[in-house]
Amino acid sequence: MQFFIDTANLAEIQEANDLGVLDGVTTNPSLMAKEGISGHENILKHYRAICEIVDGPISAEVIATDFNGIVREGEELAEIHPNIVVKVPMVKDGIKAIRYFSEKGIRTNCTLIFSAGQALLAAKAGASYVSPFIGRLDDISVDGLELIRQIRLIFDNYGYKTEILAASVRHPMHIIKCAELGSDVMTGPLSAITALLKHPLTDIGLEKFLADYKKVNS
Ligand code: E4P
């Protein structure tokens, strides 16, 4: 399973990249706003900076929700760097734009997926990725991981090449379960990725190894 980091924070992106396990980055307008990135030119500059850190797919989201606007913005974003993936919302004109981009060879990530039907539609339109938001479903007492299972089954039934990008990942168990269910990618915060490192028995074991070494080597 590929690991993407879901942030626009350059220091966190650098830290995850330095770990050597990062495959890509996803951003969204809220994450850009959180970093105080505003204004057209600054936004493009920030995407360039992310592309300089990570050599992998970087999702950059359009703001427009009408076909012409999505196409205009998406083409400009795609011009930034070959690694840019245009993130398009799951709306009617978004699906039309995904078909358009797919025919032009521009990769897309269909975002705000909350049902298997939405994922199927995006795959049929030629999306490179679909982003089911599992954490936000869990927040309203709907099993987000069940959606990953359904989409995996449907895509495998018909051999869709669209990759499942489990999004809105909140904690390490989400990552492990996504891997068990065969999600192609997961995108989550740095905290969820680094939490995978942790086990109390590892800490206790290491402490003992180092103490035993010290006993006979000091
Ligand atoms: C997906 O690409 C989104 O950026 C993201 O995963 C949303 O996560 P949230 O529900 O934690 O905001």
Ligand 1 centre distance from Cα of residue 168 (Å): 4
pLDDT digits (tens, 9 = 90+) for 140-169: 999 999 999 999 999 999 999 999 999 999
Q: For the chain, how many structural domains are there in total?
A: 1
Query: What pLDDT does 218 receive?
Result: 86
Helix (H) and strand (E) counts in the chain: 11, 8
Q: Pairing relation of β-strands 108-113 and 129-132?
A: parallel
CATH number, domain containing residue 94: 3.20.20.70
155, amino acid identity: F
**Ligand 1 shell residues, CB under 6 Å:** 6, 26, 28, 111, 131, 133, 135-136, 167-168, 187
Query: What pLDDT does 95 receive?
Result: 98
- 208 class by beta-carbon count within 10 Å (0-12 exposed, 13-18 middle, 19+ buried): exposed
Domain residues for the domain of 108 are 2-216
Could you identify the atom of ligand 1 that is nearest to the CA of residue 28? 4
92 is catalytic: no
Query: What pLDDT does 153 receive?
Result: 98
Low-confidence ranges of the chain (pLDDT < 70): none
Structure tokens at 39: 């204004």
